Structure 1
Amino acid sequence: MLRAAVKLIVTGDDFGYCPRRNQGMAECFLAGGISNVSLLVNGSAVSNAVQLAKRYNIPIGLHANLSEGSPVCTALKEKSSLLNAQGFFHGKMGIRTALAKGLLDMSEVKQELTAQVELFRELTGHLPHHMDGHQHVHVLPEIRNIFAQVLKDYGITYTRIPIEPDLPRCKWIDPPLMAFYQSVEKDSLNTVDVFREHGIRWPDIYIGLSTMGKNMSVANILAAIDNATTAHLLAKEDDSSALPSPRVSLDQGTGSVTIELMTHPGYPSISPVGGCGEGPDDFSQSWERQHELETLKSAELQNHYRTRKVELCAFQDL
C-alpha cells in the first residue's frame, strides 16, 4: 500500500444545533477526536456554541444553512421563495425539489448566505475559517454559483467538495441513502470548475459519507483514509487516470495528503430543545450521534493516528 504523510481535518458539523450536541463536540475536540467545527448560525444554541469555541479555542467555520429551520435575514423571514407554507426552509429534499422546479430566487439565496456570514462575524468576531453547506446545499445547481461568489467576496478560501473516492465499495450503506449520496456526488462533480474559477480550495480528499452514524467505526475510518490516500497517490503518479474527486493540492509540494473527515458527533438532542426553529430532527435525536462521539474519542483510534503518523489539523492551519 502506498503511504504518505496525512494531514487530517476532522470537522464536527451542526455546532449550535442544541446544547447537548455542543457539549459533545466540545468534549470531542478536547479529547482530540475532532479538529474543527462548522457552525449553524440559525441553530437554537448558537450563542452557547460560540462561547464554547471561544473558551476552548476551537477552530470554527460556517455551516451555511438553506434547508432547515428559519432564515437569519430579516427581510426573508415572512415571505421568500426559500420558505415553505409553514414559514421554514423547504427541507433537505424539499429544497432540491423547489430548485428543480425553478421556484427559488437566487437573489434571495445570496441575501441569506450573506446574512449568515455577517451574523457569524458578529458572533465570533472574525470571518469563517472555512464555509460548507448544511445537507450539502452548497453544491446544488445555481446555488453553487452564488455560494462561490459569496466566498470570493469575503475572501473565505476553503470549502468542502463531498466526493468520496471509496464510496462505490461501501455496500453497507442503505440503498435510499446511497442514492442520495450519489446525487450529492454528481452535483459535486459539476461544482468543481465553478469553485476553481472563483479561487476556492478544498482538501485533496473528502470522506464522511461512508463513515456516518452507525457506519462509523475505527476500522471504517482507517480503511477510508488508507483507500482514499492510495487512490490519490496512484492518480498523481498517472496523470491519465481520473480520480472521482477533485485534485486541488494543498500540500504545496510537501508530499503530504490533506483529508477532511466529515462527522456529526454529540449527545443526542432531546425534544423540544434544539433545532433551527422547528425543534430537533430525527437525525439529531438519534443514538448515532453519541456513537460517533465515542468512536472519535476512542483511545484505539487516537493510537492508530499516532502509529500511522496522521496529523490532525484545522482549516486555519492550512
Structure 2
Amino acid sequence: MEKINVCINCDDFGLSPEINLGIFKAIEEGLLGSCSVLMNEQSLADYQKLNSLDIDLGLHFSLTTSNQKVHSPLGLCWSYLTGKTDQTWINQQLTEQLELFRKVFAREPLFIDTHQNIHYLPFVRREVAKQLIKLQTDILRIPVESSSYFSLKKIMYQALFPFENNFIPFWGLGHMGKNFNEQRILNQLEYLKNKNLKYSLWMVHLGNYSEGHFGDSYNQERVNELETLLSLKNKIIDKANLIKFSEIESN
C-alpha cells in the first residue's frame, strides 16, 4: 500500500542551546525534513553546524520571544493598537532577521513561518507577504490543521485564513503538550492516509531541558516531544515516507 509523505518540521531552532541539541539529535536520527530557524546572534556556532547538514531551512520570524519588547501575540496586538509598535517596526524586524539568515546560511530561506503563528494578525501578515514577493515564493505556513480533532483554536485559524493559496496540509497544533502521544500521532497518520493526502507538514517542538537562564513555558513538553518522536521512529516510518520540505507538492 502506498505510504503518505510527511515532512516533519521542527520550530524554534536558535531559541536556546539545549533546544538546539535536541533538534540536532532528531536530525541525526533522520526524522526531520526541515527546521524553522529563529535568528539569534548567540547561536552562531549552532547555525554553522546546522548549515552543514542536509536539511531544508526556513525563517521562523519572531516578534514575541523573551528577549523582545513584547512577549505574546496578545501583547503584540495591544502594542500595535496603542501605537507602541507599527508597520515600520515590524518591517524593520523582519528585514533584520532575513538579513541575518542570509549572512549566516549564505542562502535564502526556503519558506517563512512565524513564532506563535503571529502572522494570523493582519498587520504582521501584510509585512510577511511583502517579503515573500521579494523572495519570489508564496510558501507561508497556514496553521489550518488537516486533522479530525476539534478545538476553538482550529476554528479560529480556519476563520482567519479562509482564502490563502498554496495550501500545504498542516498538522501539529493539536498534537502539542499532553496530546503528543503514540495513539494520537498514529491515528493522525491513518487519518491522512484515509483522506488521500499524499503530502503533509507536521510541526513539532523538540529540545533538551533548558536550565535556569532560559524561561520556556514549553520546556518539559519539548523533552517529551523529542523522546516520544525518537521512540516512534520505526512505527512512523512504517506508515510514512519522511521527506524534506522541498519535496512537498500540493495535494
Length-normalised TM-score, structure 1 = 0.70
d(CA) in 2 for partners of 1:132, 1:189:
18
Q: Secondary structure at the residue paired with 1:61?
A: strand
Question: d(CA) in 2 for partners of 1:153 and 1:222?
Answer: 39
Could you say which residue in structure 2 is the equivalent of 1:122? 103
For 2:148 and 2:79, the matched residues in 1 are separated by 27
What is the alpha-carbon distance in structure 2 between the residues aligned to residue 187 and residue 140 of structure 1? 11
Give CA-to-partner distance per residue, 1:180-228, whole Å, 9 cap, x none.
Answer: x34xx524543353x43xxxx342x111112113321122112123224
Question: Which residue matches 1:312?
Answer: 242
Choose 1 or 2 for highest CA Rg: 1
Structure 1 alignment gaps of length 5 or more: 72-87, 170-177, 234-255, 273-278
Conservation of the 8 A alpha-carbon contact between 1:109 and 1:143: yes
State the alpha-carbon separation in 2 of the partners of residues 117 and 20 from structure 1. 24
Structure 2 portions without partners, runs of 5+? none
Q: State how far apart, in whole Å, the 2-side matches of 1:296 and 1:100 are.
A: 40
* Secondary structure class of the residue paired with 1:8: strand
What's the counterpart of residue 190 of structure 1? 160
Aligned-pair Cα RMSD in Å: 2.4
2:45 is the alignment partner of 1:48: yes
User: What is the SS of the residue equivalent to 1:9?
Assistant: strand
Q: Secondary structure at the match of 2:101?
A: helix
Q: Does 1:291 align with 2:221?
A: no
Q: How many residues align?
A: 248
Amino acid at match of 2:212: S
Match of 1:35 in 2: 33
In 1: Cα distance, 2:230 partner to 2:200 partner: 18
1:262 aligns with 2:243: no
**Distance of aligned partners of 1:190 and 1:287 in 2 relative to their CA distance in 1, 3 Å threshold:** closer
Rate the CA distance shift 1:26–1:56 in 2: closer, same or farther, 3 A.
same
Superposed, 1:68-83 pairs within 5 Å as 68-70=65-67
Equivalent in 173, 177, 183 of residue 213 of structure 1: 177
**After the TM superposition, which of the residue ranges 13-22 and 217-226 deviates more from structure 2?**
217-226
- The alpha carbon displacement at 1:105 in A equals 1.0
Q: Distance in 1 between matches of 2:19 and 2:131?
A: 28
SS in 1 for 2:76: helix
Q: Percent identity?
A: 27
**Contact preservation (8 Å) 2:143, 2:157:** no
Q: What is the CA deviation profile of residues 273-300 of structure 1, one whole-angstrom value per residue up to 9, with x for unaligned ones? A: xxxxxx43222xx2221111111112xx
CA contact under 8 A between 1:39 and 1:46: conserved in structure 2? no
Could you tell me which residue of structure 2 aligns to residue 61 of structure 1? 58
Cα contact 2:147–2:188 (8 A) shared by 1: yes
The Cα shift of 1:121 comes to 0.6
Amino acid in the other structure paired with 1:282: S
SS of match in other structure, 1:147:
helix
Give, as a single letter, the amino acid of the residue that structure 1 aligns with 2:247. D
1:129-168 superposed matches below 5 A: 129-166=110-147, 168=149
Q: Deviations over 1:10-47 (max 9, x none)?
A: 111100111111111011111123221110003x6431
* 1:281 alignment partner, SS class: coil
Report what 2:233 is aligned to. 302
Equivalent positions of 1:9-24 (< 5 A) are 9-24=7-22
Letter aligned with residue 177 of structure 2: G
